[in-house]
Amino acid sequence: MTASAGHNEPLRGGKGSRSVIPQARSSDFSGLPNYAFDKRWQWAAMIFLAVTTLLRLAQLRSFELAPDEAYYWEWSRRLSLGYYDQGPFVAYMIRATTMVFGTNEFGVRFGVLAFSVGTLLCGYVLARRLFSPMTGFLFVALLGLSPFMEVGSLIATYDPPLVFFWALSAVWLERALFADKRAEQNRAWTIAGIATGFGFLCKHTMLFLIPCLVLYLAISPRHRVWFRRPQPYLAFVAALLLYSGVFWWNAYHHWWTFRHLLFLVHKNSGSPLSRFGDLIGSQALLVGPFVFFGALIASGKGLFLDDTMAGGQRCRFLACMGLPLLGMFCLMTFKSKVQANWPAGAWVTMTILWAAWLSTMAGRSRRSAVGAFALAGAAGTLGVLLTLVAVLPGLGARMGIRLAPDRDQTNTVIGWRALAAHVDESSNSEPHPKGLFIAGNGYQNCSELAFYMRGRPSTHDLFMHNRLDMYAADVERLRLHLGEDAIFVDDSNVNEADLKRLFEEVVWEPPYNVWRKPEYSVPIRTLYIAHCRRFKRYVGLEWAQGG
């Protein structure tokens, strides 16, 4: 590593800086080779980013919106200070990009690609500053070729901007803690607080950044002084000010967001050990097994480096910005189900540490250098292979990897445009003297139909024994449709008795099957469509269950 041991000296690249590095022990991250500081590594990283970004740009319109993407696009049609599920940033992002690129798949997804590139750039800046340009390139390549970055660049959810703001906060927290000048430290605390506030607006997982930072300050004797200084607290106040609109919205909407979060953390399925195993397995597939184990080992070593080792404090800082987040979610599995995307922010700084370990390994001997680059190449190759299997189920089938239709996540982006065309045709098959509205049960079908039907109509969730979602904020609009007909779309026909309480007549179409051939010989999805006549009773949220 290129940092001095136990001092606040800025990190330098170049051959001259290596002469001041103390002799490192085998578990240290110092001892980088001279060629690690070659500026051509920076060009390699930028070329890698440019090529992968162009390839992903070409993919943005290659498949239909997933239900969650269509749902967040629905949010963007009705901008608000808060939303039922999470913070409002994803809605603002989609609104901005669709205003520029149009209401289409490219417009909805462009923002997450931009934020994913931003995440890699933040990680590169941090890796280059703390270690070397070669470490920065390895970080960009290792994480950039993983399914984690591929999915995050193509599917419009709140996780890519969250991970970006986590990485941006880490960049400025490093300056706040390690910069030479007090003025630069103060400015960095302010920017870190603002970045954290924007992260809160993306997703509440950003809150875990605070215990990660507190842990680092607690175990770093030289930095405990910040507990007695105002800058960290003022940064937190800045974050809360940015988030205050969400509090305001919740105060007028039954505190829905926080009740929803409590519902999620108490949601159980399977045994604690099976949930723990599911989380670990999902993380290994998300970033690739090589990156998963390499980053875990490197972060474990980095967390316990002492101040006598070159750059020990900075390695510990990077470990604290990732490993505790993953650890907290691992502990949570013993109480509730944890989704694979929840610890996503942890992998930025943890991957930097593994890239640094590979760079250090390359400096020990020619044989070690060959081994380090071979290991990095294997990790990148496996990351590409896992990504291809994830997005091309036909490839997985040829390799003997077969998933049931309901477990293949790529099936969620197929069939919606055809369904919308079918519902459009059905809506014109007979007259509706008093009007017609589109309804469903759950946000998935409602939001997909809203996006793909002609004219992009407003759709309505009837909440029949289903959990609440953002459609609950506009449920009163159903009163305006009393007396009208409706087309109701659901993934089951068990709601017939309930529908007959709401409408004077209910007529079901034959089941609507969505096929994906030749990958599957059975339907990947079956939907049930009902023609409902004369909406006679408004029940609002009476039937909603769960949070």
DSSP string, 461-498: E--SS----GGGGGGGGGGGGTT-EEEEEES-STTHHH
pLDDT at 253 over 70: yes
Q: What pLDDT is recorded for position 155? A: 94
Encode pLDDT of 264-284 as tens digits.
766 677 788 999 999 999 999
**262-266 contacts at long range (C-beta below 8 A, 24 or more positions apart):** 262/547, 263/467, 263/546, 263/547, 264/336, 264/547, 265/332, 265/335, 265/336, 266/335, 266/336
Question: Which tokens is 148 given?
Answer: 């984690």
pTM of the model as a whole:
0.91
Per-residue pLDDT reduced to its tens digit, 408-438: 888 899 999 999 999 999 998 888 989 999 9
Confidence of residue 305 (pLDDT cuts 50, 70, 90): confident
Q: How far apart are CA 546 and CA 19, in angstroms?
A: 62
Average pLDDT over residues 32-47: 89
Strands 525-535 and 512-514: antiparallel
- Tokens coding 333: 């599995």
For 52-72, the pLDDT digits (tens) are 999 999 999 989 999 999 999
Query: Residue 532 belongs to what H/E stretch?
Result: strand 525-535
Supply the pLDDT for residue 393.
58
- The mean pLDDT value of the chain amounts to 88
Supply the pLDDT for residue 267: 67
Rounded to an integer, what distance in angstroms lies between the CA atom of residue 279 and that of residue 489?
33
What are 380-388's contacts with CB under 8 Å, separation 24+? Answer: 380/141, 380/142, 380/145, 382/288, 382/289, 382/290, 383/142, 383/145, 383/146, 383/147, 383/287, 383/288, 383/290, 383/291, 384/145, 386/146, 386/147, 386/285, 386/288, 387/145, 387/146, 387/147, 387/150
- Give which of 319, 316, 298 is closest to 306, Cα–Cα: 316
Mean pLDDT, rounded, for 165-172 = 98
Which residues make Cβ contacts (< 8 Å) with residue 281, sequence separation at least 6?
A: none
pLDDT of residue 23: 34
Q: Given this model, what pLDDT does residue 512 score?
A: 95
User: What is the SS3 assignment for 146?
Assistant: coil
Q: Highest mean pLDDT range out of 183-197, 328-342, 481-495?
A: 183-197
Residue 119's pLDDT band (cuts 50, 70, 90)? very high
Q: Which two tokens stand for residue 392?
A: 């091309």
> Has residue 14 got a pLDDT over 80?
no
- Segment 506-521 mean pLDDT: 90
Report phi then psi at 490, rounded to 5. Answer: -150, 165
What pLDDT sits at residue 45?
A: 95
Say whether pLDDT at 20 is over 60: no
CA-angle at 357, arms to 353 and 362, nearest 5°: 145
Residue 316 pLDDT > 80: yes
Structure tokens at 471: 């459609």
Do 160 and 115 meet the contact criterion of CB atoms below 8 Å apart?
Answer: yes
- Mean pLDDT across the stretch 295-302? 92
- 299 is written with which tokens? 């972060």
Per 3-state DSSP, the chain is made up of helix, strand and coil in percentages (nearest 5) of: 60, 5, 30
pLDDT at 409: 83
Average pLDDT over residues 145-159: 93
Q: Say whether pLDDT at 310 is over 80.
A: no
Between helices 272-287 and 289-303, what is the axis angle to 10°? 100
Angle ∠(120,121,123) on CA atoms, nearest 5 = 65
- Is 332 or 312 the better-scoring residue by pLDDT? 332
8-state DSSP, 527: E
* Tokens standing for residue 285: 């597939």
The pLDDT value given to residue 398? 67
